[in-house]
Structure 1
């Protein structure tokens, strides 16, 4: 039988100290946090001090929170490695109305603290250029 030589070889390697027979528990400090937790907000105007238009909590891997599209938003953030500036844009026509909004996101992404803020000419442009991650309420043309 083939199983016996393999087991004998593993025991020999373990006896030499090259392969531990028992698993050692990893400490909580050495395991990086997986997924992400983001607080996302959209403010009226050119800064985060403007009136709050919408806010949501986005949890990734496992997905959840109060964000209207957590699965799609987490996937886009994962493809951009948690960097909102690298999320692919959605090409859509938006009205040329100047009604600025400022989007703000902060939280963690795989154990690293994240922060993002950007002002857009209007909500439609904010939604399109952020891959709809900041589309917290339906936009109507």
Structure 2
């Protein structure tokens, strides 16, 4: 009886080893032959993700940022900008040219005080790199621009 149990145990062990030996390479082969995850398909729109910021100072690279917002225009307007929909519409109309939006109105009456305020935008506009800034003499001249620009009013 002992011999029979030993033979059954040996046969079971051999069968388990055989199953493991045949299954293990198949699993390993499946992993190695599996194609890598497909590259993410490009959407039907180019990315538009911007950070708009402002601070006191004359140079965008050294200004201490006082306020900033994010703006995403595609696939739909979003971000922390207070009026993302209007800002995106305005930027689309200007083809992403911030300089066209940063023109002060001629009817603004401001002092000639020099207390520079810089506004800048960085990121992507319809897939193109944006690195724009404009410095205004003071808060009054900046407000003259903000009064007519939804994109820069943040």
CA distance in 1, matches of 2:143, 2:77: 20
CA distance in 2, matches of 1:54, 1:123: 14
Deviation >4 Å, runs of 4+:
none
SS in 2 for 1:63: coil
CA drift at 1:34: 3.1
Greater shift after overlay, 122-131 or 80-89?
A: 122-131
Determine if contact 1:104/1:118 at 8 Å carries over to the other structure. Answer: yes
CA distance in 2, matches of 1:88, 1:105: 12
Q: Does 1:124 align with 2:140?
A: yes
Question: What count of residue pairs does the alignment treat as equivalent?
Answer: 109
Q: Does 1:115 align with 2:113?
A: no
SS in 2 for 1:117: strand
Stretches of structure 1 that go unaligned for 5 or more consecutive residues are 1-26, 137-141
**Of 60, 73, 88, which residue of structure 2 is paired with 1:60?**
73
CA distance in 2, matches of 1:88, 1:50: 18
Determine if contact 1:126/1:134 at 8 Å carries over to the other structure. Answer: no
Q: Does 1:73 align with 2:65?
A: no
Determine if contact 1:79/1:87 at 8 Å carries over to the other structure. Answer: no
Q: CA RMSD in A?
A: 2.4
**Of 81, 95, 98, which residue of structure 1 is paired with 2:110?**
95
**Of 97, 103, 106, which residue of structure 1 is paired with 2:122?**
106
CA distance in 2, matches of 1:95, 1:42: 19
Stretches of structure 2 that go unaligned for 5 or more consecutive residues are 1-39
The structure having more radius of gyration, on CA atoms, is 2
Q: Higher strand proportion, which one?
A: 1
CA distance in 2, matches of 1:47, 1:134: 18
Determine if contact 2:118/2:135 at 8 Å carries over to the other structure. Answer: yes
TM-score, length of structure 1 as denominator length? 0.65
SS in 1 for 2:82: coil
